Chains A and B, each alone.
Chain A
Amino acid sequence: MSALAQWLSDPASWWGPGGLLARTLEHAGYSLGTTLAAVAVTLPVALWVGHTGRGRLAAVQLANIGRAVPTFGILLGAFVAFGYGLAPVYAALVALAIPPIMVNTVVGVGQVDPEVREAAEGMGMRGWQVLLRVELPLAAPMVMAGVRTAAVQVVATATLAAVVGLGGLGRPIVDGLAQGAAYSPRAQAMVVTGAIAVALLALAAELGLSAVERALTPPGG
Protein backbone atom coordinates (compact mmCIF):
# COMPACT_ATOMS: atom_id res chain seq x y z
CA MET A 1 0.00 0.00 0.00
CA SER A 2 2.89 2.36 0.75
CA ALA A 3 4.22 1.89 -2.78
CA LEU A 4 0.83 2.90 -4.10
CA ALA A 5 0.89 5.98 -1.84
CA GLN A 6 4.44 6.75 -2.95
CA TRP A 7 3.60 6.40 -6.63
CA LEU A 8 0.50 8.54 -6.16
CA SER A 9 2.40 11.26 -4.30
CA ASP A 10 5.09 11.50 -7.01
CA PRO A 11 4.16 14.52 -9.21
CA ALA A 12 5.69 12.80 -12.26
CA SER A 13 3.08 10.04 -11.99
CA TRP A 14 0.41 12.69 -12.51
CA TRP A 15 1.69 15.61 -14.54
CA GLY A 16 4.74 14.32 -16.45
CA PRO A 17 4.74 13.56 -20.20
CA GLY A 18 3.80 9.97 -19.41
CA GLY A 19 1.75 10.95 -16.36
CA LEU A 20 -1.81 9.95 -15.62
CA LEU A 21 -3.24 13.28 -16.83
CA ALA A 22 -1.48 13.04 -20.19
CA ARG A 23 -2.52 9.38 -20.53
CA THR A 24 -6.13 10.23 -19.64
CA LEU A 25 -6.22 12.97 -22.28
CA GLU A 26 -4.73 10.61 -24.88
CA HIS A 27 -7.28 7.98 -23.91
CA ALA A 28 -10.17 10.43 -24.10
CA GLY A 29 -8.82 11.62 -27.47
CA TYR A 30 -8.73 8.12 -28.98
CA SER A 31 -12.19 7.37 -27.57
CA LEU A 32 -13.81 10.61 -28.74
CA GLY A 33 -12.18 10.43 -32.18
CA THR A 34 -13.13 6.82 -32.84
CA THR A 35 -16.68 7.19 -31.51
CA LEU A 36 -17.28 10.28 -33.66
CA ALA A 37 -15.78 8.51 -36.67
CA ALA A 38 -18.09 5.55 -36.07
CA VAL A 39 -21.11 7.89 -35.82
CA ALA A 40 -20.09 9.65 -39.05
CA VAL A 41 -19.68 6.35 -40.89
CA THR A 42 -22.72 4.57 -39.49
CA LEU A 43 -25.43 7.19 -39.10
CA PRO A 44 -26.04 8.02 -42.80
CA VAL A 45 -26.25 4.34 -43.73
CA ALA A 46 -28.35 3.41 -40.71
CA LEU A 47 -30.77 6.33 -41.21
CA TRP A 48 -31.24 5.40 -44.86
CA VAL A 49 -31.84 1.75 -44.01
CA GLY A 50 -34.24 2.64 -41.18
CA HIS A 51 -36.13 5.13 -43.36
CA THR A 52 -36.54 2.99 -46.45
CA GLY A 53 -36.71 -0.31 -44.60
CA ARG A 54 -34.47 -1.77 -47.30
CA GLY A 55 -31.90 -4.27 -46.07
CA ARG A 56 -32.94 -3.73 -42.47
CA LEU A 57 -32.53 -7.35 -41.44
CA ALA A 58 -29.19 -7.59 -43.26
CA ALA A 59 -27.89 -4.43 -41.59
CA VAL A 60 -28.88 -5.60 -38.10
CA GLN A 61 -27.53 -9.10 -38.61
CA LEU A 62 -24.28 -7.84 -40.11
CA ALA A 63 -23.85 -5.55 -37.11
CA ASN A 64 -24.46 -8.44 -34.75
CA ILE A 65 -21.89 -10.58 -36.50
CA GLY A 66 -19.55 -7.59 -36.22
CA ARG A 67 -19.94 -7.68 -32.45
CA ALA A 68 -18.47 -11.16 -32.36
CA VAL A 69 -15.24 -10.19 -34.13
CA PRO A 70 -12.50 -9.75 -31.51
CA THR A 71 -11.23 -6.17 -31.33
CA PHE A 72 -7.75 -7.40 -30.45
CA GLY A 73 -7.62 -9.39 -33.67
CA ILE A 74 -8.65 -6.38 -35.76
CA LEU A 75 -6.03 -4.27 -33.97
CA LEU A 76 -3.15 -6.65 -34.75
CA GLY A 77 -4.38 -7.34 -38.27
CA ALA A 78 -4.60 -3.61 -38.95
CA PHE A 79 -1.15 -3.15 -37.42
CA VAL A 80 0.28 -5.62 -39.91
CA ALA A 81 -1.53 -3.79 -42.72
CA PHE A 82 -0.95 -0.15 -41.72
CA GLY A 83 2.12 -0.23 -39.50
CA TYR A 84 2.86 1.93 -36.48
CA GLY A 85 0.47 4.80 -35.74
CA LEU A 86 -3.16 5.68 -35.08
CA ALA A 87 -4.65 3.78 -38.04
CA PRO A 88 -4.78 0.32 -36.37
CA VAL A 89 -6.32 1.81 -33.22
CA TYR A 90 -8.97 3.63 -35.27
CA ALA A 91 -9.72 0.52 -37.33
CA ALA A 92 -10.22 -1.62 -34.21
CA LEU A 93 -12.22 0.87 -32.12
CA VAL A 94 -14.41 2.13 -34.97
CA ALA A 95 -15.28 -1.49 -35.77
CA LEU A 96 -16.17 -1.96 -32.12
CA ALA A 97 -18.38 1.15 -32.05
CA ILE A 98 -20.33 0.59 -35.29
CA PRO A 99 -22.66 -2.30 -34.29
CA PRO A 100 -24.54 -0.68 -31.37
CA ILE A 101 -24.99 2.58 -33.30
CA MET A 102 -26.13 0.68 -36.39
CA VAL A 103 -28.64 -1.55 -34.59
CA ASN A 104 -30.15 1.20 -32.45
CA THR A 105 -30.50 3.66 -35.32
CA VAL A 106 -32.02 1.18 -37.77
CA VAL A 107 -34.45 -0.14 -35.17
CA GLY A 108 -35.16 3.32 -33.72
CA VAL A 109 -36.06 4.89 -37.08
CA GLY A 110 -37.92 1.77 -38.17
CA GLN A 111 -40.10 1.87 -35.08
CA VAL A 112 -41.56 5.30 -35.75
CA ASP A 113 -45.34 4.98 -35.84
CA PRO A 114 -46.41 4.60 -39.53
CA GLU A 115 -49.36 6.92 -38.87
CA VAL A 116 -47.03 9.71 -37.82
CA ARG A 117 -44.99 9.13 -40.96
CA GLU A 118 -48.11 9.19 -43.13
CA ALA A 119 -49.29 12.38 -41.46
CA ALA A 120 -45.95 14.03 -42.25
CA GLU A 121 -46.21 12.90 -45.87
CA GLY A 122 -49.78 14.12 -45.97
CA MET A 123 -48.55 17.57 -44.93
CA GLY A 124 -46.46 17.57 -48.12
CA MET A 125 -43.03 16.65 -46.61
CA ARG A 126 -40.52 14.97 -48.89
CA GLY A 127 -38.77 11.75 -47.90
CA TRP A 128 -35.65 13.43 -46.51
CA GLN A 129 -37.79 15.95 -44.64
CA VAL A 130 -39.75 13.15 -43.01
CA LEU A 131 -36.47 11.52 -42.03
CA LEU A 132 -34.80 14.60 -40.60
CA ARG A 133 -37.78 16.39 -39.05
CA VAL A 134 -39.94 13.51 -37.88
CA GLU A 135 -38.16 10.16 -37.75
CA LEU A 136 -34.77 11.33 -36.47
CA PRO A 137 -36.15 13.42 -33.56
CA LEU A 138 -38.45 10.55 -32.53
CA ALA A 139 -35.63 8.02 -32.79
CA ALA A 140 -33.06 10.31 -31.14
CA PRO A 141 -33.15 8.74 -27.65
CA MET A 142 -32.69 5.28 -29.16
CA VAL A 143 -29.85 6.48 -31.43
CA MET A 144 -28.20 8.17 -28.47
CA ALA A 145 -28.48 4.98 -26.41
CA GLY A 146 -26.53 3.24 -29.17
CA VAL A 147 -23.88 5.96 -29.19
CA ARG A 148 -23.61 5.71 -25.39
CA THR A 149 -23.16 1.93 -25.48
CA ALA A 150 -20.53 2.32 -28.20
CA ALA A 151 -18.66 5.07 -26.36
CA VAL A 152 -18.51 3.14 -23.08
CA GLN A 153 -17.20 0.04 -24.87
CA VAL A 154 -14.63 2.13 -26.72
CA VAL A 155 -13.36 3.81 -23.53
CA ALA A 156 -13.03 0.43 -21.83
CA THR A 157 -11.23 -1.09 -24.83
CA ALA A 158 -8.95 1.80 -25.90
CA THR A 159 -6.40 0.39 -23.42
CA LEU A 160 -5.38 -1.90 -26.30
CA ALA A 161 -3.65 1.05 -28.00
CA ALA A 162 -0.71 0.45 -25.64
CA VAL A 163 -0.20 -3.01 -27.13
CA VAL A 164 0.80 -1.45 -30.47
CA GLY A 165 3.06 1.12 -28.80
CA LEU A 166 0.68 4.06 -28.49
CA GLY A 167 -0.47 5.94 -25.40
CA GLY A 168 -3.67 6.14 -23.39
CA LEU A 169 -4.51 4.53 -20.07
CA GLY A 170 -3.44 1.11 -21.34
CA ARG A 171 0.12 2.42 -20.96
CA PRO A 172 0.39 2.19 -17.15
CA ILE A 173 -1.34 -1.21 -17.29
CA VAL A 174 0.90 -2.71 -20.00
CA ASP A 175 4.06 -1.03 -18.64
CA GLY A 176 3.26 -2.06 -15.07
CA LEU A 177 2.93 -5.68 -16.17
CA ALA A 178 6.20 -5.53 -18.14
CA GLN A 179 7.95 -3.86 -15.20
CA GLY A 180 7.13 -6.65 -12.81
CA ALA A 181 3.60 -6.35 -11.42
CA ALA A 182 4.11 -9.92 -10.17
CA TYR A 183 6.27 -8.65 -7.30
CA SER A 184 7.11 -4.95 -7.66
CA PRO A 185 4.70 -2.80 -5.59
CA ARG A 186 5.53 0.18 -7.80
CA ALA A 187 4.51 -1.74 -10.92
CA GLN A 188 1.37 -2.96 -9.16
CA ALA A 189 0.53 0.65 -8.32
CA MET A 190 0.80 1.54 -12.02
CA VAL A 191 -1.52 -1.26 -13.09
CA VAL A 192 -4.10 -0.51 -10.39
CA THR A 193 -4.21 3.26 -10.97
CA GLY A 194 -4.42 2.73 -14.74
CA ALA A 195 -7.29 0.28 -14.35
CA ILE A 196 -9.18 2.54 -11.94
CA ALA A 197 -8.70 5.53 -14.25
CA VAL A 198 -10.15 3.60 -17.21
CA ALA A 199 -13.14 2.53 -15.12
CA LEU A 200 -13.75 6.12 -13.99
CA LEU A 201 -13.48 7.44 -17.53
CA ALA A 202 -15.93 4.81 -18.79
CA LEU A 203 -18.31 5.74 -15.96
CA ALA A 204 -18.00 9.42 -16.86
CA ALA A 205 -18.83 8.61 -20.50
CA GLU A 206 -21.85 6.58 -19.37
CA LEU A 207 -23.18 9.32 -17.08
CA GLY A 208 -22.47 12.18 -19.49
CA LEU A 209 -24.10 10.50 -22.46
CA SER A 210 -27.06 9.33 -20.36
CA ALA A 211 -27.71 12.98 -19.57
CA VAL A 212 -27.63 13.82 -23.29
CA GLU A 213 -29.96 10.92 -23.97
CA ARG A 214 -32.46 12.19 -21.36
CA ALA A 215 -32.29 15.71 -22.79
CA LEU A 216 -33.15 14.33 -26.24
CA THR A 217 -36.13 12.34 -25.01
CA PRO A 218 -39.31 14.22 -25.87
CA PRO A 219 -41.59 14.83 -22.86
CA GLY A 220 -43.93 11.91 -22.40
CA GLY A 221 -41.84 9.72 -24.74
Chain B
Amino acid sequence: MRFMRKSAHRSRWVAMLALVLLVATGCGDSQEVAQEPEGGDDTERGTVVVGSTNFSEQEIVAEMYALVLEDAGYTVERRFQLGSREVVLPALEQGEIDLYPEYVGTALEFLSGGAGEATSDTAATTEKLRERFADKGVAVLEPAPAQDRNGLVVTQETADRLGLETVSDLEAHAGELVFGGPPECPQRPLCLQGYEEAYGLEFAEFRPLDAAGPVTWAALENGDIDVALMFTTQGVIEDKGWVLLEEDAELQPAENIVPVIREEVLTDEIADLLDGVSARLTTEAITALNREVDAEAADPRSVAEAWLQENGLIS
Protein backbone atom coordinates (compact mmCIF):
# COMPACT_ATOMS: atom_id res chain seq x y z
CA MET B 1 0.00 0.00 0.00
CA ARG B 2 2.82 2.37 0.87
CA PHE B 3 4.63 1.87 -2.44
CA MET B 4 1.38 2.49 -4.34
CA ARG B 5 1.01 5.91 -2.81
CA LYS B 6 4.58 6.85 -3.52
CA SER B 7 4.21 5.95 -7.17
CA ALA B 8 0.98 7.93 -7.47
CA HIS B 9 2.78 10.88 -5.91
CA ARG B 10 5.67 10.62 -8.29
CA SER B 11 3.44 10.51 -11.35
CA ARG B 12 1.64 13.59 -10.10
CA TRP B 13 4.98 15.40 -9.85
CA VAL B 14 5.93 14.40 -13.38
CA ALA B 15 2.59 15.68 -14.68
CA MET B 16 2.96 18.90 -12.74
CA LEU B 17 6.48 19.45 -14.07
CA ALA B 18 5.23 18.95 -17.62
CA LEU B 19 2.46 21.49 -16.98
CA VAL B 20 4.91 24.04 -15.58
CA LEU B 21 7.07 23.60 -18.66
CA LEU B 22 4.09 24.08 -20.94
CA VAL B 23 3.05 27.24 -19.14
CA ALA B 24 6.60 28.56 -19.12
CA THR B 25 7.05 28.09 -22.88
CA GLY B 26 3.59 29.59 -23.45
CA CYS B 27 4.61 32.70 -21.49
CA GLY B 28 7.70 33.10 -23.62
CA ASP B 29 5.57 33.44 -26.74
CA SER B 30 3.31 36.14 -25.36
CA GLN B 31 6.21 38.45 -24.69
CA GLU B 32 6.80 38.88 -28.39
CA VAL B 33 3.53 40.78 -28.89
CA ALA B 34 5.04 44.27 -28.80
CA GLN B 35 6.57 45.32 -32.08
CA GLU B 36 9.65 47.43 -32.54
CA PRO B 37 9.02 50.73 -34.29
CA GLU B 38 10.21 50.74 -37.88
CA GLY B 39 10.00 54.41 -38.76
CA GLY B 40 13.35 56.06 -39.29
CA ASP B 41 12.78 59.61 -38.02
CA ASP B 42 13.85 60.92 -34.61
CA THR B 43 10.44 61.99 -33.26
CA GLU B 44 9.56 60.10 -30.10
CA ARG B 45 6.29 58.27 -30.64
CA GLY B 46 4.49 56.37 -27.95
CA THR B 47 2.98 52.92 -27.69
CA VAL B 48 -0.56 52.44 -28.93
CA VAL B 49 -2.60 49.43 -27.82
CA VAL B 50 -4.96 48.24 -30.55
CA GLY B 51 -7.77 45.90 -29.53
CA SER B 52 -10.51 43.97 -31.29
CA THR B 53 -13.61 41.94 -30.51
CA ASN B 54 -13.98 38.26 -31.33
CA PHE B 55 -14.54 37.78 -35.05
CA SER B 56 -12.27 37.76 -38.07
CA GLU B 57 -13.37 41.06 -39.63
CA GLN B 58 -12.51 42.83 -36.39
CA GLU B 59 -9.05 41.35 -36.43
CA ILE B 60 -8.51 42.32 -40.08
CA VAL B 61 -9.54 45.94 -39.51
CA ALA B 62 -7.64 46.16 -36.20
CA GLU B 63 -4.55 44.88 -38.09
CA MET B 64 -5.03 47.68 -40.64
CA TYR B 65 -5.02 50.23 -37.82
CA ALA B 66 -2.00 48.59 -36.19
CA LEU B 67 -0.03 48.37 -39.44
CA VAL B 68 -0.52 52.02 -40.49
CA LEU B 69 0.48 53.15 -37.01
CA GLU B 70 3.60 50.95 -37.08
CA ASP B 71 4.44 52.20 -40.55
CA ALA B 72 4.38 55.75 -39.18
CA GLY B 73 6.78 54.80 -36.40
CA TYR B 74 4.49 54.02 -33.48
CA THR B 75 5.04 51.04 -31.25
CA VAL B 76 1.87 48.96 -31.41
CA GLU B 77 0.69 46.37 -28.96
CA ARG B 78 -1.99 44.07 -30.36
CA ARG B 79 -4.74 42.77 -28.10
CA PHE B 80 -7.10 41.05 -30.49
CA GLN B 81 -10.02 38.65 -30.07
CA LEU B 82 -10.67 39.93 -26.54
CA GLY B 83 -14.35 38.95 -26.51
CA SER B 84 -17.68 40.61 -27.17
CA ARG B 85 -18.27 44.38 -27.07
CA GLU B 86 -19.34 43.85 -23.46
CA VAL B 87 -15.73 42.90 -22.72
CA VAL B 88 -13.85 45.21 -25.11
CA LEU B 89 -15.68 48.47 -24.41
CA PRO B 90 -14.90 48.43 -20.66
CA ALA B 91 -11.30 47.61 -21.59
CA LEU B 92 -11.23 50.79 -23.72
CA GLU B 93 -12.82 52.92 -21.01
CA GLN B 94 -10.32 51.64 -18.45
CA GLY B 95 -7.39 52.34 -20.76
CA GLU B 96 -6.41 48.68 -21.16
CA ILE B 97 -6.63 49.28 -24.90
CA ASP B 98 -6.48 52.60 -26.78
CA LEU B 99 -8.61 51.92 -29.83
CA TYR B 100 -10.64 49.29 -31.68
CA PRO B 101 -12.97 49.12 -34.69
CA GLU B 102 -16.66 49.76 -33.94
CA TYR B 103 -19.92 49.76 -35.90
CA VAL B 104 -21.84 53.03 -35.56
CA GLY B 105 -25.39 51.66 -35.19
CA THR B 106 -24.79 48.76 -32.83
CA ALA B 107 -22.36 50.81 -30.72
CA LEU B 108 -24.94 53.61 -30.34
CA GLU B 109 -27.77 51.23 -29.41
CA PHE B 110 -25.44 49.49 -27.00
CA LEU B 111 -24.43 52.71 -25.23
CA SER B 112 -27.98 54.08 -25.14
CA GLY B 113 -29.44 50.81 -23.87
CA GLY B 114 -31.57 50.36 -26.99
CA ALA B 115 -33.04 53.88 -27.18
CA GLY B 116 -33.67 53.44 -30.92
CA GLU B 117 -31.53 56.47 -31.83
CA ALA B 118 -29.61 54.69 -34.57
CA THR B 119 -31.04 55.14 -38.08
CA SER B 120 -29.99 54.34 -41.63
CA ASP B 121 -28.41 57.83 -41.76
CA THR B 122 -24.69 57.28 -41.18
CA ALA B 123 -23.82 60.92 -40.40
CA ALA B 124 -26.66 61.39 -37.89
CA THR B 125 -25.97 58.05 -36.21
CA THR B 126 -22.24 58.83 -35.96
CA GLU B 127 -23.02 62.26 -34.44
CA LYS B 128 -25.24 60.65 -31.79
CA LEU B 129 -22.52 58.08 -31.10
CA ARG B 130 -19.99 60.91 -30.57
CA GLU B 131 -22.33 62.47 -27.98
CA ARG B 132 -22.69 59.14 -26.15
CA PHE B 133 -18.94 58.55 -26.12
CA ALA B 134 -17.96 62.16 -25.24
CA ASP B 135 -18.23 61.83 -21.44
CA LYS B 136 -16.24 58.60 -21.54
CA GLY B 137 -13.19 60.34 -23.00
CA VAL B 138 -13.52 58.35 -26.22
CA ALA B 139 -13.39 59.94 -29.68
CA VAL B 140 -15.22 58.56 -32.72
CA LEU B 141 -13.24 59.18 -35.92
CA GLU B 142 -14.62 59.33 -39.48
CA PRO B 143 -16.69 56.26 -40.40
CA ALA B 144 -15.63 54.15 -43.39
CA PRO B 145 -18.07 53.62 -46.29
CA ALA B 146 -17.93 49.92 -45.37
CA GLN B 147 -20.99 48.67 -43.52
CA ASP B 148 -21.44 45.37 -41.74
CA ARG B 149 -24.89 44.71 -40.33
CA ASN B 150 -26.39 41.85 -38.38
CA GLY B 151 -28.35 39.53 -40.66
CA LEU B 152 -30.38 36.33 -40.43
CA VAL B 153 -29.09 33.42 -42.47
CA VAL B 154 -30.75 30.09 -43.34
CA THR B 155 -29.64 27.20 -45.52
CA GLN B 156 -30.94 27.05 -49.10
CA GLU B 157 -32.86 23.92 -48.12
CA THR B 158 -34.68 25.72 -45.26
CA ALA B 159 -35.38 28.72 -47.49
CA ASP B 160 -36.92 26.47 -50.18
CA ARG B 161 -38.88 24.35 -47.73
CA LEU B 162 -40.46 27.32 -45.92
CA GLY B 163 -40.46 29.77 -48.81
CA LEU B 164 -38.23 32.30 -47.06
CA GLU B 165 -36.90 35.43 -48.74
CA THR B 166 -37.33 38.18 -46.19
CA VAL B 167 -36.99 38.29 -42.42
CA SER B 168 -40.76 38.75 -42.01
CA ASP B 169 -41.32 35.47 -43.89
CA LEU B 170 -39.95 33.86 -40.75
CA GLU B 171 -42.81 35.04 -38.56
CA ALA B 172 -45.18 32.16 -39.37
CA HIS B 173 -42.47 29.54 -38.75
CA ALA B 174 -40.34 31.00 -35.93
CA GLY B 175 -42.15 28.91 -33.30
CA GLU B 176 -40.69 25.73 -34.82
CA LEU B 177 -37.23 27.08 -35.55
CA VAL B 178 -34.06 27.13 -33.46
CA PHE B 179 -32.11 30.38 -33.66
CA GLY B 180 -28.37 30.41 -33.01
CA GLY B 181 -26.14 33.40 -32.38
CA PRO B 182 -23.53 34.91 -30.08
CA PRO B 183 -24.14 34.50 -26.32
CA GLU B 184 -24.74 38.25 -25.91
CA CYS B 185 -27.50 38.26 -28.56
CA PRO B 186 -30.52 37.94 -26.19
CA GLN B 187 -29.42 41.10 -24.36
CA ARG B 188 -28.82 43.16 -27.51
CA PRO B 189 -31.36 45.66 -28.94
CA LEU B 190 -30.29 44.92 -32.54
CA CYS B 191 -30.13 41.16 -32.04
CA LEU B 192 -32.74 38.83 -30.52
CA GLN B 193 -34.60 41.66 -28.73
CA GLY B 194 -34.89 43.62 -31.98
CA TYR B 195 -36.08 40.66 -34.03
CA GLU B 196 -38.74 39.97 -31.41
CA GLU B 197 -39.95 43.57 -31.31
CA ALA B 198 -39.60 44.65 -34.95
CA TYR B 199 -40.62 41.36 -36.59
CA GLY B 200 -42.53 39.56 -33.84
CA LEU B 201 -40.20 36.57 -34.17
CA GLU B 202 -40.61 34.20 -31.21
CA PHE B 203 -38.18 31.38 -31.91
CA ALA B 204 -38.67 27.94 -30.35
CA GLU B 205 -35.23 28.21 -28.81
CA PHE B 206 -32.19 30.45 -28.77
CA ARG B 207 -28.88 28.60 -28.81
CA PRO B 208 -25.81 30.56 -27.66
CA LEU B 209 -22.87 29.76 -29.98
CA ASP B 210 -20.11 32.15 -31.08
CA ALA B 211 -19.86 35.50 -32.88
CA ALA B 212 -20.94 34.20 -36.31
CA GLY B 213 -17.79 32.08 -36.40
CA PRO B 214 -16.95 28.40 -37.01
CA VAL B 215 -19.26 27.09 -34.26
CA THR B 216 -22.24 28.89 -35.78
CA TRP B 217 -21.39 27.73 -39.31
CA ALA B 218 -21.03 24.12 -38.20
CA ALA B 219 -24.29 24.22 -36.23
CA LEU B 220 -26.18 25.66 -39.23
CA GLU B 221 -24.63 23.15 -41.62
CA ASN B 222 -25.46 20.29 -39.23
CA GLY B 223 -29.06 21.38 -38.85
CA ASP B 224 -28.66 21.88 -35.09
CA ILE B 225 -29.92 25.41 -35.66
CA ASP B 226 -32.27 26.58 -38.42
CA VAL B 227 -31.54 30.29 -38.41
CA ALA B 228 -28.15 31.87 -37.69
CA LEU B 229 -27.22 35.40 -36.76
CA MET B 230 -24.38 36.35 -39.07
CA PHE B 231 -22.78 39.49 -40.46
CA THR B 232 -23.68 40.83 -43.89
CA THR B 233 -20.02 41.11 -44.97
CA GLN B 234 -19.29 37.43 -44.43
CA GLY B 235 -18.20 35.83 -47.70
CA VAL B 236 -18.87 32.45 -46.11
CA ILE B 237 -22.64 32.99 -46.63
CA GLU B 238 -22.21 32.94 -50.40
CA ASP B 239 -19.51 30.27 -50.35
CA LYS B 240 -21.77 27.84 -48.49
CA GLY B 241 -24.76 28.67 -50.67
CA TRP B 242 -26.73 30.00 -47.69
CA VAL B 243 -29.46 32.60 -47.91
CA LEU B 244 -29.23 35.98 -46.21
CA LEU B 245 -32.83 37.01 -45.50
CA GLU B 246 -33.73 40.46 -46.69
CA GLU B 247 -34.37 43.10 -44.02
CA ASP B 248 -37.88 44.39 -44.69
CA ALA B 249 -38.70 46.08 -41.39
CA GLU B 250 -35.48 48.12 -41.28
CA LEU B 251 -34.40 46.93 -37.84
CA GLN B 252 -30.71 47.19 -38.66
CA PRO B 253 -29.41 50.78 -38.86
CA ALA B 254 -26.29 52.18 -40.53
CA GLU B 255 -23.34 50.04 -39.41
CA ASN B 256 -20.31 51.79 -40.84
CA ILE B 257 -16.98 50.61 -39.49
CA VAL B 258 -15.35 53.34 -37.40
CA PRO B 259 -12.27 53.57 -35.16
CA VAL B 260 -13.07 54.54 -31.57
CA ILE B 261 -10.05 55.81 -29.67
CA ARG B 262 -9.23 57.20 -26.23
CA GLU B 263 -8.85 60.99 -26.41
CA GLU B 264 -5.74 60.73 -24.23
CA VAL B 265 -3.76 59.05 -27.01
CA LEU B 266 -5.45 60.73 -29.99
CA THR B 267 -3.33 63.17 -32.00
CA ASP B 268 -4.00 64.80 -35.37
CA GLU B 269 -1.42 62.52 -36.91
CA ILE B 270 -3.10 59.36 -35.57
CA ALA B 271 -6.50 60.63 -36.71
CA ASP B 272 -5.13 61.24 -40.23
CA LEU B 273 -3.58 57.77 -40.40
CA LEU B 274 -6.78 56.00 -39.32
CA ASP B 275 -9.03 58.23 -41.45
CA GLY B 276 -6.85 57.30 -44.42
CA VAL B 277 -7.70 53.62 -43.85
CA SER B 278 -11.42 54.34 -43.38
CA ALA B 279 -11.63 56.45 -46.56
CA ARG B 280 -10.61 53.43 -48.68
CA LEU B 281 -12.50 50.74 -46.78
CA THR B 282 -15.66 49.80 -48.69
CA THR B 283 -18.19 47.04 -48.04
CA GLU B 284 -16.92 45.16 -51.14
CA ALA B 285 -13.32 45.43 -49.95
CA ILE B 286 -13.95 44.12 -46.44
CA THR B 287 -16.24 41.35 -47.75
CA ALA B 288 -13.46 40.13 -50.03
CA LEU B 289 -10.90 40.27 -47.20
CA ASN B 290 -13.25 38.39 -44.85
CA ARG B 291 -13.60 35.64 -47.42
CA GLU B 292 -9.84 35.28 -47.71
CA VAL B 293 -9.55 34.79 -43.95
CA ASP B 294 -12.70 32.70 -43.36
CA ALA B 295 -12.75 30.49 -46.45
CA GLU B 296 -9.10 30.37 -47.45
CA ALA B 297 -7.71 30.40 -43.90
CA ALA B 298 -5.43 33.34 -44.72
CA ASP B 299 -3.70 35.15 -41.86
CA PRO B 300 -5.53 38.40 -40.95
CA ARG B 301 -2.26 40.31 -40.73
CA SER B 302 -1.02 39.40 -44.20
CA VAL B 303 -4.47 40.04 -45.69
CA ALA B 304 -4.56 43.50 -44.07
CA GLU B 305 -0.97 44.22 -45.09
CA ALA B 306 -1.56 43.32 -48.74
CA TRP B 307 -4.68 45.50 -48.89
CA LEU B 308 -2.90 48.49 -47.29
CA GLN B 309 -0.03 48.17 -49.78
CA GLU B 310 -2.42 47.93 -52.75
CA ASN B 311 -4.07 51.11 -51.58
CA GLY B 312 -0.78 52.89 -50.98
CA LEU B 313 -1.49 53.31 -47.27
CA ILE B 314 1.76 51.73 -46.11
CA SER B 315 5.12 51.54 -47.79
| Chain A residues within 8 Å of B, Cβ to Cβ | 17-18, 60, 63-65, 67-68, 70, 79-80, 83-85, 99, 103-104, 107-108, 111, 142, 162, 164-165, 171, 174-175, 177-184, 187
Cβ proximity bits B196-222 to A, threshold 8 Å, 1 near / 0 not: 000000000111111000111011011
Interface contact A85-B8, CB-CB below 8 Å: no
Asked if B112 is an interface residue, CB under 8 A from chain A, the answer is no
A179 touches B86 (CB 8 A): yes
Enumerate chain B residues within 8 angstroms of A68, measured Cβ to Cβ.
15, 18-19, 22
Give the dominant DSSP class at A's interface: helix
A182 in contact with B90 given A83-B221, A165-B208, A165-B215 (CB within 8 Å): yes
Cβ A174 vs Cβ B87 within 8 A? no
Query: How far is B15's CA from A184's CA once the two chains are assembled, in angstroms?
Result: 39
Residues in B with CB closer than 8 Å to A142 are 4
Structural contact, A108 and B4, CB atoms closer than 8 A: yes
B193 close to A (CB within 8 Å): no
Q: Does B83 sit within 8 A of A, measured CB to CB?
A: yes
Chain B residues closer than 8 Å to A65, beta-carbon distance: 18
Write the nearest CB–CB distance from A220 to chain B, whole angstroms. 12
Q: Which of A60, A65, A108, A178 has the most CB of B within 10 A?
A: A178
Bound-complex Cα distance A121 to B185 (A)? 66
**Residues A171 and B208 in contact in the complex (CB < 8 Å), given A165-B219, A178-B183:** yes
**Restricting to B167-199, which residues have a CB under 8 Å from any CB of A?**
180, 182-184, 187
Q: Could you list some 13 contacts between A and B, CB below 8 A? A: A64-B15, A68-B15, A68-B19, A68-B22, A79-B215, A83-B221, A107-B8, A174-B208, A178-B87, A178-B182, A180-B86, A180-B87, A180-B90
Going nearest first, the 10 A-B pairs with the smallest beta carbon separation are A180-B86, A68-B18, A84-B218, A178-B183, A182-B90, A165-B209, A67-B15, A175-B183, A165-B215, A178-B184
Q: Quote the shortest CB–CB distance from A82 to chain B (angstroms).
A: 9
The interface size bin for chain B is 35 or more
Assuming the contacts A84-B215, A107-B4, A165-B208, asked whether A179 and B224 have C-beta atoms less than 8 A apart, the reply is no
| Shortest distance between the CB of A191 and any CB in chain B (Å) | 12
In the bound complex, how far is the Cα of B187 from the Cα of A184, in angstroms?
11
Q: B185 CB to closest chain A CB, in angstroms?
A: 9
Q: Contacts of B218 on A, CB cut-off 8 Å?
A: 79, 83-84
Task: Tell me, rounded to whole Å, the shortest Cβ–Cβ distance linking B216 to chain A.
Answer: 8
A17 vs B210: C-alpha distance in the bound complex, in angstroms? 19
A111 touches B3 (CB 8 A): yes
Q: Which chain B residue has the least Cβ–Cβ distance from A103?
A: B11
